[in-house]
């Protein structure tokens, strides 16, 4: 089953220099293991291909039902150097939530996940 990440998580983002920080927080604690499984470094790097020029670091925060990512090379040098419209990285959380997850039907049913809607 296809699941929109935005339907099972919320996210916050910010910046430090040329690095964007994106935290993805499960809306329900029981959804956290799925989010942690699905949002790998490789998947996030592929999602932001052409947008970031550096590596991706991942940190699990199970006590908060969250996964945090550092996206290096995301801001063209940072807020004081970049000509990007959003040089502070605020839109990276919205961009992350646009991911669509492929979840096995039985797992989706067991977790009562909402099916993806057209956006």
pLDDT over 50 at 2, yes or no = yes
Residue 79 lies in a domain: yes
Q: Mean pLDDT, to the nearest integer, of 66-78? A: 86
The pLDDT score that the predictor gives to residue 82 is 46
Supply the mean pLDDT for the chain. 89
In the chain, the number of structural domains is 1
Range of the domain at 81: 2-111
Name the band, by pLDDT with cuts 50, 70 and 90, for residue 93: very high
pLDDT over 90 at 21, yes or no = yes
Residue 117 lies in a domain: no
Q: Mean pLDDT, to the nearest integer, of 52-79? A: 90
Q: Exposed, middle or buried by CB within 10 Å (0-12, 13-18, 19+), for 80?
A: exposed
Residue 71 lies in a domain: yes
Residue 118 lies in a domain: no
Residue 119 lies in a domain: no
Residue 116 lies in a domain: no
Residue 106 lies in a domain: yes
The pLDDT score that the predictor gives to residue 18 is 84
The pLDDT score that the predictor gives to residue 63 is 97
User: What pTM, to 2 d.p., does this model score?
Assistant: 0.87
């Amino acid at each position: 089953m296809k699941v929109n990440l935005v339907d099972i998580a919320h996210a916050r983002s910010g910046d430090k220099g040329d690095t964007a920080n994106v935290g993805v927080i499960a809306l329900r604690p029981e959804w956290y293991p799925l989010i942690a499984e699905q949002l790998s470094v490789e998947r996030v790097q592929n999602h932001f291909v052409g947008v970031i020029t550096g590596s991706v670091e991942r940190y699990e925060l199970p006590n908060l039902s969250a996964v945090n990512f550092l996206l290096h090379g995301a801001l063209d040098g940072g807020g004081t150097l970049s000509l990007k419209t959003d040089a502070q990285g605020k839109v990276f959380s919205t961009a992350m939530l646009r991911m669509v997850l492929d979840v096995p039907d039985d797992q989706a049913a067991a977790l009562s996940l909402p099916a993806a809607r057209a956006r």
